[in-house]
Structure 1
Amino acid sequence: MLVVRGIDWAELVAGLRAARSGELGAAFALVSLSFFVRGLRWGILLSAQRTVAPGTLFWATATGYLGNYSLPARAGEFIRSLALAQKTAINASYVLATALTERIFDALTLVIISAAALSTLSDVPETLVIATRTMAVVGLVGVLGVLIAPRLEPLVEWVLDRLRLPAHLHSRLHSVAAQFLLGMHACQHTRRALGFAALTALVWSVDAVMAVMGGQALGLPLTLAESLVLLAMLGLSSAIPSTPGYIGVFQFVAVVVLTRYDYSREEALAYILTYQAISYLAALLYGLIGIWQLNARQFLSGRRRAGGD
């Protein structure tokens, strides 16, 4: 990888060894809080059909992050949606639509942040510029889709009628489509929309403070503004095809961004490795517990009831 060419490995290792445990613990706590707030935000969309307990939302969100970090193509979004649907008996198509809506508005938020972020950097790589433009298009198209989709049910019904499918298949597809479109409609309610927007602002604020705390653990005076720029670029880079967990891509982005703020390449790499380690540890810990909470415990309780009968 070009990003590690010429790196002073002794300096990099020394920087990692000097990390302060107190700040690392605080950063981990902030990641945990971010998972929790993201779960609450998702719950606002789900509440259009049913109120879900905060704990269940937290575990489902964590399993989603574990899936995103360990599998390609953001498979965690499907994993968390199916896990929550199984746990709560909410229609899976509806749950998936709310998860997709959440990610669409996250993409739009990233575009807004990155528009300001790019203006603060010089010599921005073309890869990040392309990613920004791509995310802007995806975000705008996605938002339009969310706004228009709920009005498309008559069109979907018309298309299904023209396909002349067997009655049972027609009924099944119509039910799936109707629930998906209903999920898209969840944010089109003033109170839910305001709550969702408020928690979105809180999510990104918590993430930014966590990024600052990660820098302090390594003795790097990362400011809140710099952390927002970095988070925006990391978010945009996730649109670039890469390995699971964005290994390599995040290192490239961190070096590009942080060296523009006069941090050394060794400091940038030490920082992003620490940032990823904290994030992955939280996803692994809470994700594995979440898998048990959402699936294994339900299965085992069913076995116990069957045995009692």
Structure 2
Amino acid sequence: MLPRVRSARGARGLPPRPAKAGRRKWITTQSGGRPHFMKKAVKLIVGILLAALFLALSLRGVDTANALRNAMHASWGYMLASVAVGLFGHNLLRAWRWRVMLTPEKPGIGLYNLFSTTVIGYAASWSLPLRVGEFLRPVLLAEREGIRASAALTTVLIERFLDGLAIVALSAVAVMTWNGREGIGPEGEAAIRYAGWGGAVVLCGSALLFGLLIGAAATKSRWEGRVESFAARSKNRLLASAARGLVGLVEGGTILRRPAGLALTAVLSVAVWMVIGYSVWLGLKSAGIEITYPEVFILMPASVLGIGIPTPGGAGSYEYLVSRALQYLFNQPLDTAYAATLILHVLITLLPTVLLGSVLLWRDGVSIARLKSTMAAAAGGSP
């Protein structure tokens, strides 16, 4: 029989130390598990609370029975045309733009894969909490095409910058050439003023971040070695991962060093939002709201902000902001404006996108288990 080994505390006649080490070890080893789960849960709860708040605000003063009646009498012809333009025209342009941005990484990526992945990503964002589609879309494309996930993620970041600049430009032109501003009242003037401030913030922020990314890409050879050396020496895994992620992020922005490709990407960004605007215009006509096509871009900041607020699927925030913009800027009855908002959000955008995304998942043989494993691999630091 082996002799019993006594601890140092036992040898000195002291009682054994309370079992805290096990708990500390659990917390250390599970740092990516339970705390991460709690963080996601908090975000989800906050999103649900925001949705409830905005939904309550959006329904104030609305005769829901009358609004639903108006929605049921919408023109199906205009509605289907709006779905076709928004679902296919808009997403095909996004796929083309994505292809241009990824040309330095892999020339000639198939347009179908880009379109399919784009729609699947948006379907996930509309139907799942925490907007996971924004991360899923580039990661899934990287797996399908055998490219670096960091490169695909960078192009999505560049897309967001260009989208912001395109929206600000189109909205500014629409406001400056608008003849209907005289009769909008104080609420409408306040809405335009807030939109102007928001546009200035988006413009300055996008230009600053875009400039930093261009500068980092242009000077990459000067700092890349030092950053990679820091990542290799660092004992802090988070800092090391952030350093490697920075290098990967800038590597994915090769398109920024190609003026012709960047110019085409910018033109396609404006085209994307012009097509979205046409889809919205058709959707408004289906609800009986007659505004001109350029006036849609005066409404667009409210639409984008409504979707951007982190509520599940834009629920509540979209209805509140868009219905009030229609009421205050275009003198639409609130019930009619609310019906139009429901049509645009639910019948034209959310349901068709989720349905087509589900069909493409089935057609492409992409299972939910595969999506989960792809996301987990990317979160774990896959290149």
Query: 1:224: how far off?
Result: 0.5
Q: Partner letter of residue 246 of structure 1?
A: G
Q: 1:6 aligns with which of 61, 75, 96?
A: 61
Q: Which of 28, 36, 58 pairs up with 2:83?
A: 28
Which digits, 9 at most, give the CA deviation of each residue in 1:62-90, with x for residues without a partner? Answer: 12212322345543221100110111111
Matched, 1:211 2:266: no
What does 1:169-208 correspond to in 2, within 5 Å? 177-208=246-277
Q: How many residues align?
A: 297
1:271 aligns with 2:340: yes
**Pair 1:273–1:153, CA change in 2 (3 A):** farther
Aligned partners of 1:128 and 1:236 also within 8 Å: no
Is 1:16 aligned to 2:71, yes or no? Answer: yes
101, 106, 114: which one aligns with 2:158: 101
For 1:64, which of 115, 121, 126 is the aligned residue? Answer: 121
Deviation at residue 133 of structure 1 after TM alignment: 4.1
For residue 202 of structure 2, the aligned residue among 135, 154, 158 is 135
CA deviation map 1:151-207 (0-9, x unaligned): 2453243134245148xx999887754442122121331321232123222211211
For residue 255 of structure 1, what is the aligned residue in structure 2?
Answer: 323
Q: Is 1:282 aligned to 2:379, yes or no?
A: no
Once residues 188 and 202 of structure 1 are traced to their aligned partners in structure 2, the CA distance between those partners, rounded to angstroms, is 22
- Residue 92 (structure 1) shift: 0.5
**Which residue type is aligned with residue 295 of structure 1?**
V
**SS of the residue 2:294 aligns to:** helix
Which residue of 1 is the match for residue 290 of structure 2?
221
How far apart are residue 280 of structure 1 and its match?
A: 0.7
1:242 corresponds to 2:310: yes
Alpha carbons of structure 1 residues 171 and 233: separation in structure 2 relative to 1, 3 Å? closer
Structure 1 pair 8–236 and aligned structure 2 pair: CA distance change class (3 A): closer
Q: Partner residue of 1:302?
A: none
Distance in 1 between residues matched to 2:131 and 2:174, nearest whole Å = 25
Going from structure 1 to structure 2, the CA distance change for 1:172 and 1:265 (only over 3 Å counts) comes to closer
Q: Percent identity?
A: 24
Q: Distance in 2 between matches of 1:8 and 1:236?
A: 25
Query: Residue by residue, what CA displacement relative to the aligned partner does 1:249-273 show, whole Å, maximum 9, x if unpaired?
Result: 1112212221121111111111111
Bigger radius of gyration among the two: 2
Distance 2:258 2:365 in 1: 29
Show structure 1 runs of 4+ deviating over 6 A.
169-175
Distance 1:58 1:127, change over 3 A: same
Root-mean-square deviation (Å): 2.9
Task: Map 1:39-58 onto structure 2 (within 5 A).
Answer: 39-50=95-106, 51-58=108-115
Checking the alignment, whether the CA contact within 8 Å between 2:234 and 2:240 is kept in structure 1 is no
Instruction: Kindly indicate whether residue 180 of structure 2 is the aligned counterpart of residue 124 of structure 1.
Output: no
Whole-Å Cα distance in 1 between the matches of residues 253 and 275 of structure 2? 26
CA drift of 1:117 comes to: 5.4
Which region of structure 1 is more displaced relative to structure 2, 272-281 or 69-78? 69-78
| Inter-partner Cα distance in structure 2 for 1:131 and 1:238 | 15
> Residues 54 and 213 of structure 1: is their aligned pair in 2 closer, same or farther, counting only changes over 3 Å?
same
Q: Is there any run of 5+ residues in structure 2 with no aligned partner, and where?
A: 1-55, 182-187, 371-383
Task: Please tell me the residue identity of whatever aligns with 1:124.
Answer: A
The letter of the residue matching 1:197 is A
Cα distance between partner residues in 1 of 2:222 and 2:124: 35
Report the secondary structure of 2:366's partner residue.
Answer: helix
Alpha-carbon distance change, 134 to 201 in structure 1, aligned in 2, over 3 angstroms = closer
Q: Secondary structure at the match of 2:105?
A: coil
User: What secondary structure does 2:190 align onto?
Assistant: coil
Aligned residue number for residue 4 of structure 2? none
- Per the TM alignment, residue 144 of structure 1 is displaced from its structure 2 partner at its CA by 1.1
CA contact (8 A) 2:230 2:240 kept: no
Which stretches in structure 1 are left out of the alignment for 5+ residues? 300-309
Deviation at 1:26, TM superposition (A): 0.7
TM score, norm. by length of structure 2? 0.69
Separation in 2, partners of 1:54, 1:145: 30
